[in-house]
Amino acid sequence: MASLKELKNRISSVKSTQKITKAKQMVAAAKLRRAQEAAEASKPYASRMANVVANLTASMGEGAGGPKLLAGSGDDKVHLLVVMTAERGLCGGFNANTAKAARLKIQELQGAGKTVKVITVGKKGRETLKGNFADLFIDHVDMTEAKNNYTPFALGLGHDLARRFEAGEFDVATLIFSEFKNVMTQTPVAKQLIPAEAPEEVETVDLGGAIYTYEPSEGEILEALLPRYLNTQILSAMLENAAGEQAASMTAMDNATRNAGDMIDALSLQYNRARQAQITKELIEIISGAEAL
């Protein structure tokens, strides 16, 4: 049984940990508010961009070809996975869930005989996957200096993916990230980036029987628009990922704070019982000594 001094030291240690987790929870809550606002603010633009791409694609008709970013390379042998996680831990299963989704996707593609390449965004995903798939890594995006400004990183990654696709380094690019649902729920999703997929559920334009003539043509408009659409998808995913990270961190730190409180209560009870037992023992010794005299 632990001594009173040991129990007292353990209680003091847990209380210090509780202060840290409480502070971390408050910081995550403040960051979550800003990250959630940024993610919500990006959705109207991303949604409208998706509508424009979908309507232009539909107006071209089936088999009309189009820009390479839309039509693809004509093959699907080489798949590039962009795995997006956080730079830091202490956010529950947030990073582990995304890494698990990436692992299952890699195994699925390899099982189908595809060649897989991986670009990691965020340190934690790279650390988790490097044990089994380090030989698949071709690049890494360090987000340490992002500081809530993800636009340069999204543009840089978008340009890099477009360049690699034009160079024939891959046929299909898929982005794996955590979609922010609410404070309690962040769901790992896989979204195909290249070839671009026009969303199915979009607001369609009612032409009332009229026919639009585009100048320049739909293909030329898409040629200029698709790189921006790619960058928009990446930026939107980064913002949702950031919001999900802070939500998961806040929830994890709240649970850690509560668990620390429960542990303090249990240790305090154990300490009081041990102290009471020691006092009772000392009283018995005193009484026994007095009776002996």
Query: CA-CA distance, 7 to 274, in Å (whole number)?
Result: 9
Nearest to 148 by CA among 50, 230, 22, 42: 42
* Residue 110 burial (C-beta neighbours within 10 Å; 0-12, 13-18, 19+): middle
User: Does the active-site annotation cover 91?
Assistant: yes
Q: Could you identify the residue written with the tokens 């704070």?
A: 257
Catalytic residue (choose from 91, 143, 239, 242): 91
Query: CA-CA distance, 272 to 21, in Å (whole number)?
Result: 26
Return all residues near 67 (Cβ < 8 A) that are at least 6 apart: 219, 222, 223, 226
Helices (H) then strands (E): counts for the chain: 6, 5
DSSP label at residue 204:
P
CB atoms within 10 A of CB 8: 15
Catalytic residues: 91
